[in-house]
Amino acid sequence: MSAFIGATVTYQKHLKAEALSIHRNLTPLWRRRYGGHVVNGRRTEGKRLALLEAPGAAGITLRDVLSERTCPEDRMLALIPGDPRLARILAQLKPEEQAVMLALGLNGVVTWAEAAEYAGADDPPVFGERVRRKVLRLAAEQRRRDVLRRPGPPSDLRRPGQKGEQEGAST
């Protein structure tokens, strides 16, 4: 009989531990307590997680009280390209074309038509294609100018002989 009672107590402990674990898992985060300590064998009260949308005094939420983490300049700085080649191309575009090109760099905008739609064009597929062609043309012109700006080889560089001459052959 005592073996039966001992087994029952063991099963009760496991069942209680399992129920407590399930209860903890099903308790919402904002109702859980964390950071409690055990002092003199007693568990001290922990703290609760505060929701940003929890109403406070006079209907003000915690989100209203927190300071904003963005700077006023962030929106403007996001529009300044880091690559000087891109800045040169943007400088040659009209403002509505610039809006399409900058929209293409946003998350979720994949095609030129989507970028034109995001920028508010009247006919997004046609306008997006026109901006795409213009940007490709301007990029090709920038590459051509960059090649012309590159310094050539030094003038004292030996060039191979021409018309069948052997290199290093003396005359």
Predicted local confidence at residue 1, as pLDDT: 58
Predicted local confidence at residue 27, as pLDDT: 81
Predicted local confidence at residue 124, as pLDDT: 93
Nearest residue to 104 via CA among 84, 121, 88, 122: 121
- 93 and 58 in one domain? no
Q: Bridge partners of 33?
A: 48
- 11 and 59 in one domain? yes
Nearest residue to 89 via CA among 145, 142, 128, 132: 142
CB atoms under 10 Å from CB of 143, counted, come to 11
- Does residue 145 lie in a domain region? yes
Predicted local confidence at residue 157, as pLDDT: 44
CB atoms under 10 Å from CB of 60, counted, come to 10
Predicted structure pTM score: 0.45
Predicted local confidence at residue 64, as pLDDT: 76
- 141 and 117 in one domain? yes
* Residue 18 belongs to domain spanning: 7-65
Q: Report, as ranges of residue numbers, the positions in the chain whose pLDDT lies below 70.
A: 1-6, 30, 67-81, 152-171
CA distance 139 to 137: 5
Predicted local confidence at residue 115, as pLDDT: 93
User: Quick check: 43 and 36 in contact, CB under 8 A?
Assistant: yes
- Does residue 56 lie in a domain region? yes
Predicted local confidence at residue 156, as pLDDT: 47
